[in-house]
Amino acid sequence: MIPFRKKKKSFPVKVCSLDSQLEFNLEYNATGGELFDLVCRTFGLREEWYFGLQYEDTRGNVCWLKKEKKVIDQNIIKESCVFMFYAKYFPENVQEELIQEITQHLFFLQIKQAILSMEYYCPPEASVLLASYYVQAKYGDYDELNGVDLLNEDLLPQRVIDQYSMTPEMWLQRIKTWYADHKQMSRDEAEMEYLKIAQDLDMFGVNYFPIKNKKNSELWLGITALGLNIYEKENKLQPRTVFQWSEIKNISFDDKKFTIKPIDKAAPNFIFYSTKLRMNKLILDLCIGNHELFMRRRKPDTIEIQQMKAQAKEEKQRRQIERNKLSKEKQLREQAERDKSLLEARLIGMQEEMRNAQLALRRSEEAAELLEQKNRLAEEEALLLNRKAMDVEQEIARLKNYALKTEEEKIHLERKSREAETLTARMAEESQKKATEAERLKNELINARIAEKEAKEKLLTFLSRATLSSPSPQLSNLSVPIHQLITHDGILSISSQSLEDPEQMYEDALELNSYDLAENDISDISLEIEKERIEYLAKSKQVQSQLKGLRSEIELLKISESEFDRINAEQLRLGENKYSTLKKAIKSSTRHKVAFYEEL
């Protein structure tokens, strides 16, 4: 009998990131490191040193899962074991240090949440710019006609919305203004631009803890990638002094007392007191992790990081080549659509001209027919007048013969003769007028027939010219024999079958504008990468100018401001920023920094 292997006990765990959720059945003896590696493999994440698993223990305290200990032994809530996959440590320079696209994406989501939840202070004008990059990353290129409904999107911190007398539509209009400038920017590029702007925020990558010095002054300790920042209670934006990791030799704590030994032997120890005992291990853990990353950055890259950077560079070049290809295809498609629209417009114009020409021809024919009828009537009237004139002449002859009979009759006949002559002259004059009118109408008929002939010749010439002067292969598809253009009822009938298939036009355009991607494309990309920093500096100046303009524009609509707003406004007035403040706080010696700290 084959013995059955005993099934290992497991328990369910849930791991949530900001855009996904994972569920695992974890063995009871699994360590935090095994769970963390499982999550990283699932995400395809190799830059795992920035991240950690955060959870809430049975006392409601926020903790980071320890990799070396068993998960089940870390005071977790076993009934609902939920971990948050967050960035625990932050880079000094996001563009140079974040290699993988998934790493950039996870940082992007976390920083965006921190800004929108108002964990980080972000000036209003920078909030608008960041929102435009977020929309570009999520929805792609701006399209006014087929735009998405952004009013329901969570784009700005509520603090920014509340402190200005502006409607959502007014905010959205300013976001769209910048959104339209990000055309052809891919998702990863938009997310990186977002991070490059966000890392200039004073609170970026700072973990704050309340502390006290020997004078019992309430201060803030800020743990960052560069070192330890000390802030006054009311000002979490500008550190009063900074202890870089390169100045620190050892960190230890005893109860609530933290002792930091500087490398400078002439400098006294830097001592502070935490307000809560449970925070001590977390403070020490963040200090150790940030110090290790600080030292690692200043050493040559490991083989693994070199491979990752090489792969990321190749992937970036590949994506750039694909983007160039897609861009060319898009341009060809747009050109084909424009040609199609142009041809359709020209076809409509030709049809309209043809209808006008046919209408003019029909009018000429009708005028000619009317003139012919008038001419016929005039000829008939002239014949009738001639006949009457002959009858009158016969009557005169008869009267003259009869007048010979008697004098009285003669006199009478003379009088009658004079009257008849007068009538004859008048009728002859009318006959002459009718004959003249008939001749004029005859000439007009001849001219009308000549005009009709010229209109027909002009129509045939126009159709021949439209057929022979086709400007492009697409237009030649519209050509048909001239005799097919005139239907039985005289109305223009042109087949536009070639215009009904834009895909065929697009394929034709591709065949006519074929291209090769060879080494020249890669060299072009390399040149673009080399110019990237110069372009970024120029773009940065432009962005700063735009931010200044937006700040001035919305300043008139401000109805309230926070203490952080006043501090930020003072920084702008003095021309200072995050880096100039840090530079001032770092430049003094360690001994002076400790002395200054003790006096706070």
Q: Residues within the annotated binding site?
A: 66-69, 281
> Would you say the C-alpha torsion 67, 99, 296, 261 has a positive or negative sign?
negative
CB-based burial of residue 597 (10 Å sphere; 0-12 exposed, 13-18 middle, 19+ buried)? Answer: buried
CB 109 within 8 A of CB 17: yes
* CA distance linking residue 568 with residue 390, whole number of Å: 118
What is the per-residue DSSP string for 540-564?
HHHHHHHHHHHHHHHHTTB----HH
The amino acid occupying position 577 is N
Is 65 in contact with 83 (CB distance < 8 Å)? Answer: yes
CA 161 to chain centre: 24
Q: How many CB atoms lie within 10 A of CB 490?
A: 12
Token duo for residue 540: 């940065």
Neighbour count for residue 296 (Cβ, 10 Å) = 12
Tokens of 210: 């309340």
Q: Could you give the 3-state DSSP secondary structure of residue 186?
A: coil
Residues in the chain, total: 600
Radius of gyration of the chain measured on its C-alpha atoms: 47
DSSP code of residue 486: B
Residues 6+ apart with CB under 8 A from 430: 385
Q: Under a CB-based contact definition with an 8 Å cutoff, are residues 321 and 517 in contact? A: yes
Query: Nearest CA to 191 among 283, 271, 95?
Result: 95
Side chain identity, residue 315: E
CA atoms of 512 and 219, how far apart (whole Å): 70
Local structure of 468: helix, strand or coil: helix
Do residues 63 and 275 make contact, with C-beta atoms less than 8 angstroms apart? no
Alpha carbons 24 and 530: distance in angstroms, whole number = 45
DSSP-based three-state secondary structure for 377: helix
Both tokens of 596, joined, read 């200054």
Nearest to 595 by CA among 246, 234, 274, 241: 241
Q: Report how far residue 579's alpha carbon sits from residue 582's, in angstroms, rounded to the nearest whole number.
A: 5
* Cα atoms found within 13 Å of the Cα of residue 83, Cβ hemisphere only: 29
Q: At what angle do helices 124-139 and 101-116 cross, to 10 degrees?
A: 140
Q: Contact 421/399 with Cβ under 8 angstroms?
A: no
